[in-house]
Structure 1
């Protein structure tokens, strides 16, 4: 009955249209009153939920990504990707995916990826003869890489939701191979579609111009080296790498590229603060909600339920995938990570699944949810950039959903894809 009151109040509040963060907080209060828990205990959990040093990485990575997104980095990454693959048939679709790989490794955000890369490449692809729905579908599906490739904001949130027991550095490294695998799978699909539909080839860029483009993009690409190289070498932590990435992004944008006006900088910082505030409110209320779930033994009940269905971990992982795919269509990614990680992590640990591996499973599942109606945030951003209806974009996404599902199955049932690199790095 306790679980019914907590979860029932949460879903009722969601159904009537209350924002997820406030629904979590109010349902936690309802649950606390139901079991006669002092409200002081809930407030303590709220404060301790956001009073974590590891959370400092989130605002810094968000700010670095915002500076790069609005400071001309997306355009330069697109040009650099064009040098590498733009001359192939269907090359602009490959440029789109490769640019998303580069930009995802800087911003860590699928929404920022879609907005930045899409605003540059969707009009260009349409101009060169690609259907607009196809261009939008490529942009949206390619941006899912940002969920996996470091520095993924959601990997930090997963580490927090796991109680800090999972290393952020290990999660960052675990996402490299699945992220690149996703990009290669989407690229292969684009090549097949381009050959079938006879999409145009791009032009080979002259050597002198190509060198200029590469040098111009190198400043931004150094952000990836700073983030990954610093963490792997042990020179600085994930938090420190995020703050250094902000300084580097600021220096490159304002003093090297000089595309961004100083007078617009306060507005950018204000938007970043608003974004981070929403995330922190969500994390604080989710901590209260998770505390109530623990007191009501909901994770133990869910573990018992899954283990009663089967003792085969592959079957249970398949069932968890189905559940995550369905829920990913109905809720945004961050709250689902915060709610479901404390519930599902005990289940997979009992089955012998590595928590880092499970983090990648969750990221791919919920990343697919970001481009799936009715709540797919990235899908809506892509449709807004291209000025297409959601239904039109969704239909164009059909073959890309198949590719993403194949990657999901590989990440789920081939744990070495996620665990090889962090183990090789001793993480």
Structure 2
């Protein structure tokens, strides 16, 4: 265990990509501390990927790519602008509302952040807004794609935790939307103190709202199709992901007509590139997780936590701290595959609902995507805005504080996330 830990930290400190850190440290530990043949690595990688449910990942990635290329993102932003553009600091409010809409379609925080930034940042700059604060808000709002279904992160953690994907999807709706509202409140307070630049507002008209709403209606059909199909038992999550990609292609090509059939090969190649990176991390992380399990880390950690406290709330608070720290340095899926197999058995022993625990992991991972030094959504937002990452990071204090408040609420009020799955009968 000491060898794998030292190798992991050393390679990570050297800037080696996480996927190679996981694989190399696992192989090094196998060679130096066990008699297990190295060939077991390829078997464990295959075992980690040998899941029908994980096939949902490339399909959801394809749906997100199609969403951007097919004009769906732009129409959702236009509708959000018509709906909330009359509020002080309207551009920030539009970014938050649009993030919620895109989250219900793409399932990828970095993709949502990139799409919203590309559309909103030029307007923020032109209107005289604080571009760094705008990038910070967009990064936090875009990360909500991990909490608001359909979420790629939820698919992965549902497979690891052996919980219902439908139940986990439903558990994220209320907390995700509350996080968006919290960011809107923080943006409004910032705008009230920001000067005349934030007072420029678009007049609200029912005509414009109706026009943009009608234009965005086909895009709104995607989350209805995904959640309705899964909860209604029409198709599995993997089939729902495939249907969402096909639906997005139809909408982009034949309704909006922004998607050209000639561009499909390039979009498919982009999907393959993005998906393969995620799947490779899952495969190598499964080897890492297997070694940790064989080293009895869950048992040792469980014994330590039992000595510290037998309270479920204390365990959840410790889990939050661990996940927040790890999320600063590790990619989301890698963190899940390493930590969830260790922490989940302890949570079950303490009587914590696995759906509640899984959602807490997702919320922590969403926050991790905007916390430096590794925050992916933060890097995307800063890059599109053309600003240094650390300059944007200094503006994260208030948006991140809002997300931390929501994390505490979700931790101490489990019914906030569990009442929707209970209503539909997916959990007791």
Same fold, judged at TM 0.5 (above): yes
Specify the alignment match of 1:28 in structure 2.
26
Specify the alignment match of 1:180 in structure 2.
177
Following superposition, the deviation at residue 90 of structure 1 comes to 1.7
Pairing of 1:10-25 with structure 2 (within 5 A): 10-25=8-23
SS class of match (1:127): helix
Which blocks of at least 5 consecutive residues in structure 1 are unaligned? none
Specify the alignment match of 1:397 in structure 2.
396
Correspondence 1:235 to 2:238: no
Following superposition, the deviation at residue 285 of structure 1 comes to 1.3
Specify the alignment match of 2:3 in structure 1.
5
Following superposition, the deviation at residue 201 of structure 1 comes to 4.3
SS class of match (1:215): helix
Deviation per residue, 1:145-184 (Å, 9 max, x gap): 101011110011112222xx21111111111111011011
SS class of match (1:12): helix
Specify the alignment match of 2:346 in structure 1.
347
Following superposition, the deviation at residue 252 of structure 1 comes to 0.6
Deviation per residue, 1:318-367 (Å, 9 max, x gap): 12211211111111111101111111112222222111111111111121
Specify the alignment match of 2:360 in structure 1.
361
- Residue 21 of structure 1 contacts residue 285 of structure 1 at CA under 8 Å; is this kept in 2? yes
Pairing of 1:231-380 with structure 2 (within 5 A): 231-380=230-379
**Alpha-carbon distance in 1 for matches of 2:134, 2:125:** 7
Following superposition, the deviation at residue 394 of structure 1 comes to 1.0
- Residue 178 of structure 2 contacts residue 406 of structure 2 at CA under 8 Å; is this kept in 1? yes
Specify the alignment match of 1:72 in structure 2.
71
Following superposition, the deviation at residue 205 of structure 1 comes to 4.4
- Residue 82 of structure 2 contacts residue 205 of structure 2 at CA under 8 Å; is this kept in 1? no
**Alpha-carbon distance in 2 for matches of 1:417, 1:210:** 31
Following superposition, the deviation at residue 296 of structure 1 comes to 1.5
**Alpha-carbon distance in 2 for matches of 1:67, 1:369:** 26
- Residue 181 of structure 1 contacts residue 407 of structure 1 at CA under 8 Å; is this kept in 2? yes
**Alpha-carbon distance in 1 for matches of 2:364, 2:209:** 38
- Residue 104 of structure 1 contacts residue 113 of structure 1 at CA under 8 Å; is this kept in 2? yes
Following superposition, the deviation at residue 16 of structure 1 comes to 2.5
TM-score, normalised relative to structure 1: 0.95
Specify the alignment match of 1:85 in structure 2.
84
Q: After the TM superposition, which of the residue ranges 27-36 and 93-102 deviates more from structure 2?
A: 27-36
Specify the alignment match of 1:191 in structure 2.
188
Correspondence 1:63 to 2:68: no
Following superposition, the deviation at residue 257 of structure 1 comes to 1.1
Pairing of 1:117-136 with structure 2 (within 5 A): 117-136=116-135
Pairing of 1:83-122 with structure 2 (within 5 A): 83-122=82-121
Question: 4+ residue runs of structure 1 moved beyond 4 angstroms?
Answer: none
- Residue 82 of structure 2 contacts residue 208 of structure 2 at CA under 8 Å; is this kept in 1? no
- Residue 122 of structure 1 contacts residue 132 of structure 1 at CA under 8 Å; is this kept in 2? yes
SS class of match (1:39): coil
- Residue 129 of structure 1 contacts residue 200 of structure 1 at CA under 8 Å; is this kept in 2? no
**Alpha-carbon distance in 2 for matches of 1:115, 1:239:** 25
**Alpha-carbon distance in 2 for matches of 1:95, 1:425:** 32
**Alpha-carbon distance in 1 for matches of 2:110, 2:40:** 35
Specify the alignment match of 1:384 in structure 2.
383
Q: How many residues align?
A: 423
Q: After the TM superposition, which of the residue ranges 208-217 and 270-279 deviates more from structure 2?
A: 208-217
- Residue 110 of structure 2 contacts residue 143 of structure 2 at CA under 8 Å; is this kept in 1? no
Deviation per residue, 1:276-334 (Å, 9 max, x gap): 11111111111122222222111111111122112222222212211211111111111
- Residue 132 of structure 2 contacts residue 392 of structure 2 at CA under 8 Å; is this kept in 1? yes
RMSD: 1.5
SS class of match (1:150): coil
**Alpha-carbon distance in 2 for matches of 1:17, 1:197:** 39
Correspondence 1:166 to 2:163: yes
- Residue 356 of structure 1 contacts residue 419 of structure 1 at CA under 8 Å; is this kept in 2? yes
Q: After the TM superposition, which of the residue ranges 317-326 and 22-31 deviates more from structure 2?
A: 22-31
**Alpha-carbon distance in 2 for matches of 1:270, 1:209:** 37
**Alpha-carbon distance in 1 for matches of 2:291, 2:134:** 45
Following superposition, the deviation at residue 236 of structure 1 comes to 1.4
Deviation per residue, 1:173-232 (Å, 9 max, x gap): 111111011011111112222223242242224433332211111111111111111112
- Residue 249 of structure 2 contacts residue 259 of structure 2 at CA under 8 Å; is this kept in 1? no
CA separation of 1:160 and 1:31: change in aligned 2, threshold 3 A: farther
**Alpha-carbon distance in 2 for matches of 1:269, 1:203:** 38
